[in-house]
Amino acid sequence: MAYGSCRARAGSPDIDGGDVIKQALITLASDRLRVSVAPGFGARVTELVDLATGRNWLVPGPTVGSPDNDAHYLGEEARGWDECFPTVAPCIHTGWPEPLRDHGEIWGRDTHCELSDAGIMSSSRVGDCQFTRWLTLHGNAITLRYCVENQGNRPLPWMWSQHCLLATRPGDRLFLKGVDGALQVSAATGRDSDTKSTFHWPAFDEQHPDLDDPDGHHSPWACKAYGAVEESCKAGMYSERESISFHWEKSQMPYVGVWLNHGAWPPDKPVHQIAFEPTSAPADDLLSASTAGHARILSAGSTHEWTLSIHLNETAGIPTTA
**Burial (CB count <10 Å: 0-12, 13-18, 19+), residue 268:** exposed
Is 2 inside a domain boundary? Answer: no
3-class state of residue 224 by DSSP: strand
Counted residue by residue, the chain has a size of: 322
pLDDT for the residue numbered 17: 37
End-to-end CA distance of the chain: 24
Structural domain tally of the chain? 1
- pLDDT, tens digit, for every residue of 91-104? 999 999 999 999 99
Is 321 inside a domain boundary? Answer: no
**Summary mean pLDDT of the chain:** 90
CB contact at 8 A, 168 and 261:
no
Could you tell me the CATH number of the domain that includes residue 148?
2.70.98.10
- pLDDT, tens digit, for every residue of 287-321? 999 999 999 999 999 999 999 999 998 665 566 55
Is 319 inside a domain boundary? Answer: no
Handedness of CA 246, 263, 288, 111 (dihedral sign): positive
Is 155 inside a domain boundary? Answer: yes
pLDDT for the residue numbered 168: 96
Is 202 inside a domain boundary? Answer: yes
**Burial (CB count <10 Å: 0-12, 13-18, 19+), residue 301:** exposed
Is 1 inside a domain boundary? Answer: no
Distance of CA 318 to the CA centre of its chain: 20
Give the up-direction half-sphere exposure of residue 19: CA atoms within 13 A in the CB hemisphere.
16
pLDDT for the residue numbered 181: 95
pLDDT for the residue numbered 8: 54
pLDDT for the residue numbered 216: 87
Q: Is the pLDDT of residue 12 over 50?
A: no
Is 82 inside a domain boundary? Answer: yes
- pLDDT, tens digit, for every residue of 129-175? 999 999 999 999 999 999 999 999 999 999 999 999 999 999 999 99
pLDDT for the residue numbered 222: 94
- pLDDT, tens digit, for every residue of 173-194? 999 999 999 999 999 986 555 5
Is 300 inside a domain boundary? Answer: yes
Cα–Cα dist 229/179, whole Å: 5
pLDDT tier, 117 (very low <50, low <70, confident <90, very high otherwise): confident
The angle formed by the CA atoms of residues 209, 56 and 263, to the nearest 5 degrees, is 40
Q: Which domain holds residue 47?
A: 7-313
Q: Is the pLDDT of residue 2 over 60?
A: no
Q: Is the pLDDT of residue 15 over 50?
A: no
- pLDDT, tens digit, for every residue of 208-218? 999 999 998 87
pLDDT tier, 19 (very low <50, low <70, confident <90, very high otherwise): very low
pLDDT for the residue numbered 300: 98
**For residue 194, which phi and psi values (nearest 5 degrees)?**
-70, -10
